[in-house]
Chains A and B, each alone.
Chain A
Amino acid sequence: MRAILHIDMDAFFASVEVLDRPELRGRPVIVGDTPEGRGVVAAASYEARRFGVHSAMSAAQARRLCPGGVFIRPRHRRYSEISKKIVTIFRDYTPLVETISLDEAFLDVTASQKLFGTAVEIGRAIKKRIKDEIGLTASVGVAPNKFLAKIASDLEKPNGFVVIEPGTEAARLATLNVNRLWGVGPVMDRELGRLGIRLVGDILKTDPKRLERRFGMESARALIDLARGLDDRPVVPDSAPKSISEETTFERDIGDSARLVEILDGLADEVARRMRRQGYRARTVHLKARYPDFTTPTRSLTLPSPTASTVAIRKAARELFEQKLGRAGRALRLIGVGVSGLVPEDEGQLELFREGDDRAEKIDHLIDRIQKKHGDDSIRRG
C-alpha cells in the first residue's frame, strides 16, 4: 500500500501578500489585474472569497462583488521564492516530490515511513513546518494514491488535514459530486445527470453496462475505478528524470490504424506536456507496441535538436508507427510513447535568433495554461 500526500497551499498568492504586508490580515485581498484593467483575478484570500470572488474571474467583476477589496498585482518571483522554500521542506522527507504548480505538490512517502513515522505524522510535521518556518497554512491530504490525496486535501480547506484510510475510499467518495472525479468535465457531468448519476456513489449503484453503452468501455472503466478510489499513477519526481513516457493498454485489441494514430497523438500530447511542466526537452522519441502474442517491440528516433513541442513529438511518434511498428492492420494490445535524452530547458533564457516553429511553441504554452487553469478536458487539439 502506498502512502501519498497532496499538499495544497491555501490561497497561496494572496497569503504571500498578507505575509509580506501583515496590515492586510483579515482583509479581502485580491491578487491579479487592477480592477480598471481587463485582466483576471489570479488568487483571492478567503476573506475575498466570501464576497464571491474567485480566480479566473475578471478583475472588474471582482471589484463589483467586493468594492472594499485590496487589489494587488502579482509578484511571481516572490511566490516562486517561497514555493522553493516549501519544496525544500518536502525534500527533507522524500525525494519523490512532484510539484504540480507553485502551490501544489504530491509526495510519495511510502518508504519514508521507516525513517520519519507514519504518513500521517509526516503530513502533520510538514504542515507544522510550513506554518512555523514560512508563516503560511497548507491543506494536506493523506491517502493511498494521488487521486484520493488530492480529494482529501480539498475536503477541509483552508488549513485542512484529511486522511483517507485504505478501505474507506468508496465511503468517503460516495457523497461527493461526480464532477470532482478526474476526467468528468461539464459535458460528462450533464450526461451522467441524465442517467440519474449526481454523486460518486451513484456510479457504483449503476449497472456498468449502462455506463459502457453511454461512454464507451474505456471511459466507463475509468469512471468506475475512480469511484472506487483506485488510481495507480506514480508520483513522478521533479529532479532529473531519465525518460518520460505514457502508455495505454486497450480493453480489446485495436487494429484500426486511424484509431491507433488518434490514441498515439493523445499519448504524445501528454508526454510533451509533462516534459514542459518539468522543464525538459528531449532528443529521442520512443514508440512501444504490444501485439496480441505479447511480443513488445520498441523503436526510437533521434531528433536533430531537443524539443518539447507537442507537434514534434506527435510527428515523430506517427513516423515511428507508420514506418516501423504499424504493420499493416495488425492489431495491438498496448501502445506507448516515450522520450529520453532529456536536457533541461533553460527557463526564460532569451534567444538571439528565434528558430523553429514559434507559433507551435506559443500554442503549446497557451494550451498548457488553459488546461492548468480549467482542467485537461477544457481544450483539445484537433
Chain B
Amino acid sequence: MKVIFERQSLASGISLIQNIVNSASTMPILANILIEAGAESTTIYGTDLESFGRVEMKAQVEEGGRVTVNARLLADIVKLMPEGEVVMDATGNKLTISGGRNTYAMGTMPSDDFPEWPRIEAETTLVLRQADLRRILHNTMFAIPVRDPRKVLMGVLFELNGGRLTCVATDGRKLGKITIEPTEIRGRDSISVILPKRILEELDKAIGEEGEIELGISDRQVSFTLDNLSYVSARLEGTYPKYDAVIPQSFKRTIRIQKTTLADAINRAAIVAERRHHSILLKFSTGQIEIQAQSSEDGTYEGAIETDYQGESFKLAFNHQYLQEIFKVTPDPQVDLKIKDVNAPIVFECESDPQSLFLVMPVRISEIEEAEANV
C-alpha cells in the first residue's frame, strides 16, 4: 500500500476516529486504526467493539491495500509533521510514514485481525438537520450524570412519536428536553432508543450548522452517517425512567427573570455555599429576589436583584451548580421560571425556544419554613 495524504486533512480525519479507539483494551489490535486504500477512496476505521467509526479521506492512492497502526502513535506523528504531503508506505509488516525530510518506520499488526465493520439492518431511518442535532446535544448532554449505577441515564433518550422526535437526558436532579421534527422518517413512526454519551460526544465534534445527518436504528445498534463520516454504536439497553410523569403540567406561578443578573448573584452566593450540598436560598417577593447562602466554614452571603414579580412571598432552595448549568444552556437573556410547588420540579423555559424545556429538582424546604414563607 502506498498513499499520499495532505497532512491537515489526515490529522482531522484521525481526530474523528481516535477517541473511539480504546487504547486500554486487552486486545492490542483495538488500540490501532485501520487504513484501507482502494481504487475509489481511502478510509480510516477505529473501534472499541461497542462503537465503530470510519471516515473517508481525500488521498492519492499509488498502490491499494490495508494497514493497521497504533492510533495514538499515528496521531502524534501526524501532528508534528511539517505541512504538506504525508506519505504512508506499507510493505509486508513494515510501515514507513514520511513528511518532508522526516521518516518513521515501524512494524504493523495483521490487518485481517481488525474487527469487521458491523452491518446494521436499520428498521427505522431518520434524517435530521445537523443544526437540530446540535441543539439536541446542547440541550440534553449537560444533564447526563458523570457516573451513575442507573446505566440507562448514561445517554440521551431519543423518542420518535407522531412525526416528532423528543430527546431527553437527566441525572435525576436536573433534566433537559427538546423536541424537533426530522426532515425525513422511514420505517416505524414510533420508536424509543437510548444513545450512549460516548458516541454523542464524538458526533458533537463532527457535526456543523449546515447539512443533514442520517440516523439508522436497528434493534441493538444505531448508525450515524454524515458526509464522509459514519459511526455505529450499541444502543443502551434498559428502560428509561418515566420522565413525562415528573414534568409538572400546571403551575402556580411563572416568573420571568433576567438570566445574567440572577446568574451573577448566584455565582456570588456560590462562593460561600455549603460545600456539602451546594444549596442557596432564593426569596421571592414583590419586586425582588433575595439570594442567600451560608456555610459553617466560609460565612454568609446576602444579595438581592430586581424583578417584575408581583405576588405573595415564597422561597426556593437549589443546588447552585444545577442552576448554573441550566443558565448556561438556555438560549435567551430572559428565562421563565415555572413553579408548581417549592418542593416540586421547577421548570425553566425560554420564549424563543418553546420546543425546549429544562427542569431542576430543588432542595427541600421544610413544611414549617414553607408555612412561614407563605405568611
Stretch with Cβ within 8 A of A (4 or more), from B89-97, B121-129, B215-223, B364-372: B364-372
Complex contacts, B295 vs chain A, CB 8 Å? 84
Complex contacts, A351 vs chain B, CB 8 Å? 172-173, 361
B238 to chain A, nearest CB (A): 13
**Residues A73 and B361 in contact in the complex (CB < 8 Å), given A305-B149, A350-B343:** no
Does B276 contact A75, Cβ atoms closer than 8 Å?
no
B170 at interface, CB cutoff 8 A: yes
Complex contacts, A305 vs chain B, CB 8 Å? 149
Does A350 contact B368, Cβ atoms closer than 8 Å?
no
A323 at interface, CB cutoff 8 A: no
A22 at interface, CB cutoff 8 A: no
Contact with A along B343-375 (1 / 0, CB 8 A): 101000000000000010111101011011000
Cα A75 to Cα B370 with chains together (Å): 10
Cα A350 to Cα B294 with chains together (Å): 19
A382 at interface, CB cutoff 8 A: no
Contact with A along B330-354 (1 / 0, CB 8 A): 0000000000000101000000000
Does A350 contact B363, Cβ atoms closer than 8 Å?
yes
B319 at interface, CB cutoff 8 A: yes
B317 at interface, CB cutoff 8 A: yes
Q: Which of A81, A348, A353, A355 contacts B246 (CB 8 A)?
A: A353
B241 at interface, CB cutoff 8 A: yes
Does A349 contact B173, Cβ atoms closer than 8 Å?
yes
Contact with B along A333-364 (1 / 0, CB 8 A): 00000000000111111111101000000000
Complex contacts, A74 vs chain B, CB 8 Å? 368
Cα A353 to Cα B148 with chains together (Å): 13
**Residues A87 and B296 in contact in the complex (CB < 8 Å), given A346-B277, A348-B317, A349-B277:** yes
Does A348 contact B279, Cβ atoms closer than 8 Å?
yes
Does B246 contact A352, Cβ atoms closer than 8 Å?
yes
Complex contacts, B317 vs chain A, CB 8 Å? 348
Cα A330 to Cα B243 with chains together (Å): 52
Interface residues in A59-93 by Cβ distance below 8 A to B read: 73-77, 81, 84, 87-88
B37 at interface, CB cutoff 8 A: no
- B243's closest neighbor in chain A, by CB? A352
Does A348 contact B363, Cβ atoms closer than 8 Å?
yes
Complex contacts, B319 vs chain A, CB 8 Å? 346, 349
Does B372 contact A75, Cβ atoms closer than 8 Å?
yes
- B296's closest neighbor in chain A, by CB? A84
Does B277 contact A352, Cβ atoms closer than 8 Å?
no
- A81's closest neighbor in chain B, by CB? B294
**Residues A76 and B276 in contact in the complex (CB < 8 Å), given A352-B241, A352-B361:** no
B188 at interface, CB cutoff 8 A: no
A304 to chain B, nearest CB (A): 5
B150 at interface, CB cutoff 8 A: yes
- A239's closest neighbor in chain B, by CB? B297
**Residues A344 and B276 in contact in the complex (CB < 8 Å), given A75-B369, A351-B361:** yes
A279 at interface, CB cutoff 8 A: yes
**Residues A350 and B149 in contact in the complex (CB < 8 Å), given A76-B368, A344-B277:** no
For A88, A351, A352, A353, the residue with the greatest tally of chain B CB atoms inside 10 Å of its CB is A352
Complex contacts, A355 vs chain B, CB 8 Å? 150, 172
Contact with A along B165-183 (1 / 0, CB 8 A): 0000010110100000000
Complex contacts, A350 vs chain B, CB 8 Å? 173, 343, 361-364
Tell me the dominant secondary structure on chain A's binding face.
loop
Complex contacts, B296 vs chain A, CB 8 Å? 84, 87-88
B-contacting residues of A (Cβ < 8 Å)?
73-77, 81, 84, 87-88, 279, 304-305, 344-353, 355
Does B150 contact A347, Cβ atoms closer than 8 Å?
no
- A346's closest neighbor in chain B, by CB? B277
Does A352 contact B345, Cβ atoms closer than 8 Å?
yes
- B322's closest neighbor in chain A, by CB? A349
- B299's closest neighbor in chain A, by CB? A88
Complex contacts, A348 vs chain B, CB 8 Å? 277, 279, 317, 363-364
Complex contacts, B368 vs chain A, CB 8 Å? 73-76
Q: Which of B172, B242, B276, B361 contacts A347 (CB 8 A)?
A: B276
Complex contacts, A346 vs chain B, CB 8 Å? 276-278, 319, 363
Cα A73 to Cα B374 with chains together (Å): 14
Does A352 contact B170, Cβ atoms closer than 8 Å?
yes
Does A279 contact B173, Cβ atoms closer than 8 Å?
no
Cα A217 to Cα B364 with chains together (Å): 47
Complex contacts, B276 vs chain A, CB 8 Å? 279, 344-347
- B174's closest neighbor in chain A, by CB? A352
Contact with A along B116-144 (1 / 0, CB 8 A): 00000000000000000000000000000
B270 to chain A, nearest CB (A): 15
Q: Could you jot down 22 A-B contacts, CB within 8 Å? A: A76-B368, A76-B369, A81-B294, A84-B295, A88-B296, A304-B149, A344-B277, A345-B276, A346-B276, A346-B319, A346-B363, A348-B277, A349-B319, A350-B173, A350-B343, A350-B361, A350-B362, A351-B172, A351-B173, A351-B361, A352-B361, A353-B242
A126 to chain B, nearest CB (A): 16
Complex contacts, B175 vs chain A, CB 8 Å? 352
Does B294 contact A347, Cβ atoms closer than 8 Å?
no
A83 to chain B, nearest CB (A): 9
Cα A353 to Cα B361 with chains together (Å): 10
Complex contacts, B345 vs chain A, CB 8 Å? 352
A217 to chain B, nearest CB (A): 42
Complex contacts, A81 vs chain B, CB 8 Å? 294
Complex contacts, B359 vs chain A, CB 8 Å? 352
Cα A350 to Cα B174 with chains together (Å): 10
Complex contacts, B241 vs chain A, CB 8 Å? 352-353
Does B366 contact A76, Cβ atoms closer than 8 Å?
yes
- B362's closest neighbor in chain A, by CB? A350
Cα A352 to Cα B173 with chains together (Å): 6
Cα A77 to Cα B317 with chains together (Å): 12
**Residues A347 and B149 in contact in the complex (CB < 8 Å), given A81-B294, A352-B246:** no
Complex contacts, A349 vs chain B, CB 8 Å? 173, 277, 279, 319, 361, 363-364
- A99's closest neighbor in chain B, by CB? B296
Q: Nearest 10 A-B pairs (CB), nearest first?
A: A84-B296, A305-B149, A348-B364, A348-B363, A353-B241, A346-B277, A350-B361, A304-B149, A344-B276, A352-B246
Cα A299 to Cα B153 with chains together (Å): 31
B144 to chain A, nearest CB (A): 14
**Residues A73 and B371 in contact in the complex (CB < 8 Å), given A346-B277, A348-B317, A351-B172:** yes
Contact with A along B279-315 (1 / 0, CB 8 A): 1000000000000001110000000000000000000
Contact with A along B232-266 (1 / 0, CB 8 A): 00000000011100100000000000000000000
Complex contacts, A73 vs chain B, CB 8 Å? 368, 371-372
Cα A131 to Cα B144 with chains together (Å): 49
Interface residues in B98-117 by Cβ distance below 8 A to A read: none
Cα A113 to Cα B277 with chains together (Å): 34
For B170, B277, B319, the residue with the greatest tally of chain A CB atoms inside 10 Å of its CB is B277
